[in-house]
Structure 1
Amino acid sequence: MSESIKPRLEVCMSPALLHLYDVKDSIVVIIDVLRATSTICTALYNGAVRVIPVADVAECVRIGQALGAITAGERDGKIADGLQYGNSPFEYPRNFVEGKTLVLTTTNGTKLLHMAKDAKQIITGSFPNLSAVCDYLVAQKQHVLLGCAAWKDRVNMEDTLFAGAVVNRIRDHFTVNCDSALLSESTYLAGKDDLFTFMQGATHFKRLSGFGLEDDIRYCLTPDGANVLPLLVNNELVAYHQ
């Protein structure tokens, strides 16, 4: 396929930069590796019917009560006051979440998802569903924007690494004329042999490890442990089935 007819592949490293990109003709991949999008794909992989992403805690509680759903989420890495569960993928094994609805709010990921609401399509991505994301994007043959949730608008390491992993895997199918994509790929290539060790200097690694969550971090950096594709349909994330 010639470069002129390949769809474009771009990376937005922070929600604060989203206004610089035209999302209306793109599939936007919401990336919040530690831990929202890792938890979303894990819950769906383990049989959750849907995950409803919401922007704030009060809305999470209201919708959860109306639906009899699990209310979950975090603020600054800890379970948010008023919610039943947190944002650890280990909180949602199959014997707990199968057949249920999860209403989720997080510091960064759900915020970006709502900001990108005008996108042609929205999916979520993280290392546990890396292959599902890449296979889907290649098959769709549409423009793609990899949107990093970052940390309170500051660029972070883990989302950049995942964006770089996607760029590295699918770049031959796309036109890549985006410095952020090149930077994220270079970062991923520098750390890909041991992402956990590579991440140890990162701020979010230090924040979560301070809560004793090294197992969460390791899981969230491991490819294909929950290889399902979360697709936003009517403001709900559901597992995509071809």
Structure 2
Amino acid sequence: MEKPVLHTVLSPRLLDIYDVSNSIVVIIDVFRATSTIATALYNGAARVIPVDSVDKCIELGKTTGGITAGERDGKVIPGLSYGNSPAEYPRSFIEGKTLVLTTTNGTKLLHMALNCGAAEVVTGSFPNLGAVCDHLKQQHKNVILGCSAWKDKFNLEDALFAGAVISEVKDHFTIHCDSSLMANDMYELHRADMFNFIRRTTHWHRLASYGLESDLEYCVTPNSANILPVYKNGDLVV
């Protein structure tokens, strides 16, 4: 039986040069959107609605009775109630509720993948690494690991997560893709010392200046919220 193919897309700007149709697209936004999505759903959120604009977030918050959340440059957006920190969504707060989330990079890439005809869209982060890998191994479909990057510029942490996935699933796929090779090599090189490695990233410097170091360490801790968010009819659900 022929193995499916896996590619890593290092920026949303590169998505349209890949054939996304009939592929599972894994949306990766490690700091912090996809980590927050996994955490909220793991802690019992009924659903997460990812939107690509603040106005839509406010509007959906009203029509669904959901919690509106989003940040720009590390601060809660005026008009929204909460931020993009996984720590804001413990079970005692989020269980049974709808979370409407807008982010700078991750929600944009998710909508791009849908518009390109992805067969399925899931979200991936270190907190749900195992669930993502198990799913990809079971489905026997082509896979695109989509890094959300930072305003279309490459970032290390999303590629690092792509490398972690590849490390687990590579025996199940044909991988002739230099970005995948790079991501996997980088992960293997730094997997034993992730907390120190992420301190060198531009996103660490950007977000640590807002006092979010513990957030960022949580976001590279594997399997602390090990469920699979899948996009269905406008919602991310378990």
Is 2:231 aligned against 1:232?
yes
Deviation at 1:20, TM superposition (A): 0.9
Q: In the alignment, which residue of structure 1 is the partner of 2:196? A: 197
Deviation at 1:40, TM superposition (A): 0.2
Deviation at 1:203, TM superposition (A): 0.4
Distance (Å, rounded) in 1 between the aligned partners of 2:18 and 2:82: 34
Q: In the alignment, which residue of structure 1 is the partner of 2:76? A: 79
Distance (Å, rounded) in 2 between the aligned partners of 1:87 and 1:193: 27
Q: In the alignment, which residue of structure 1 is the partner of 2:18? A: 21
Q: In the alignment, which residue of structure 2 is the partner of 1:54? A: 51
- Would you say how many aligned residue pairs link Structure 1 and Structure 2? 236
Is 2:33 aligned against 1:36?
yes
Deviation at 1:44, TM superposition (A): 0.3
Deviation at 1:78, TM superposition (A): 2.1
Q: In the alignment, which residue of structure 1 is the partner of 2:123? A: 124
Q: In the alignment, which residue of structure 2 is the partner of 1:210? A: 209
Question: 1:121 is aligned with what amino acid?
Answer: E
Q: Which ranges of structure 2 fall in alignment gaps of 5 or more residues?
A: none
Distance (Å, rounded) in 1 between the aligned partners of 2:76 and 2:190: 30
Return structure 1 stretches of 4+ with deviation > 3 angstroms: none
Percent identity of equivalent pairs: 61
Distance (Å, rounded) in 1 between the aligned partners of 2:111 and 2:77: 19
Q: Which ranges of structure 1 fall in alignment gaps of 5 or more residues?
A: none
Distance (Å, rounded) in 2 between the aligned partners of 1:73 and 1:43: 14
Q: In the alignment, which residue of structure 2 is the partner of 1:70? A: 67
TM-score (norm 2): 0.98
Q: What per-residue deviation string (whole Å, max 9, x for no partner) do you get for residues 71-126 of structure 1? A: 00111232112110000000000010000000000000000000000200000000
Question: 2:233 is aligned with what amino acid?
Answer: N
Q: In the alignment, which residue of structure 2 is the partner of 1:136? A: 135
Question: Residue 53 of structure 1 aligns to a residue in which SS?
Answer: strand
Distance (Å, rounded) in 2 between the aligned partners of 1:188 and 1:218: 16
1:99 to 96, 100, 107: 96
Distance (Å, rounded) in 2 between the aligned partners of 1:81 and 1:194: 37
Distance (Å, rounded) in 2 between the aligned partners of 1:77 and 1:120: 33
Deviation at 1:189, TM superposition (A): 1.1
Distance (Å, rounded) in 1 between the aligned partners of 2:6 and 2:232: 23
Question: Residue 116 of structure 1 aligns to a residue in which SS?
Answer: helix
Question: Residue 182 of structure 2 aligns to a residue in which SS?
Answer: helix
Distance (Å, rounded) in 1 between the aligned partners of 2:199 and 2:122: 28
Q: What per-residue deviation string (whole Å, max 9, x for no partner) do you get for residues 154-189 of structure 1? A: 000110000000011100000001111001101111
Distance (Å, rounded) in 2 between the aligned partners of 1:25 and 1:77: 36
Question: Residue 63 of structure 2 aligns to a residue in which SS?
Answer: helix
Distance (Å, rounded) in 1 between the aligned partners of 2:190 and 2:76: 30
Q: In the alignment, which residue of structure 1 is the partner of 2:218? A: 219
Question: Residue 7 of structure 1 aligns to a residue in which SS?
Answer: coil
Distance (Å, rounded) in 2 between the aligned partners of 1:185 and 1:79: 34
Is 2:174 aligned against 1:166?
no
Is 2:21 aligned against 1:7?
no
TM-score (norm 1): 0.96
Q: How does 1:150-189 map to 2 (within 5 A)?
A: 150-189=149-188
